[in-house]
Amino acid sequence: MVSNILATDGNGLRSLQVRKDNLSQQNARLRQEIVRLSSLAALETRARSLGFVEGIEILSLDAKTRVAMREP
């Protein structure tokens, strides 16, 4: 009897397989979205829209350069 029940329980197995496939596909789509949003072109566009601009002047600091002075 158990065998009969198990033998005809294909519906449950199929629905599990479909669910697994859907989750895998969703996972793949989300990963694809992360990659798309973290591409340099996407990051540059987003940075520009937030008002960032490219650095033009580069200042190197060393021990001799004073970056702040204490008030006397």
Which residues are near another protein by CB under 8 A?
3, 6-11, 13-14, 21, 25, 28-29, 32, 35-36, 38-41, 58-62, 65
* Closest distance to another protein from the beta carbon of 63 (Å): 11
* Closest distance to another protein from the beta carbon of 50 (Å): 19
* Closest distance to another protein from the beta carbon of 20 (Å): 12
User: Are the CB atoms for 27 and 20 separated by under 8 Å?
Assistant: no
Q: How many CB atoms lie within 10 A of CB 1?
A: 5
Structure tokens of 49? 């829209």
Of 63 and 68, CB closest to another protein: 63
DSSP letter assigned to residue 52? -
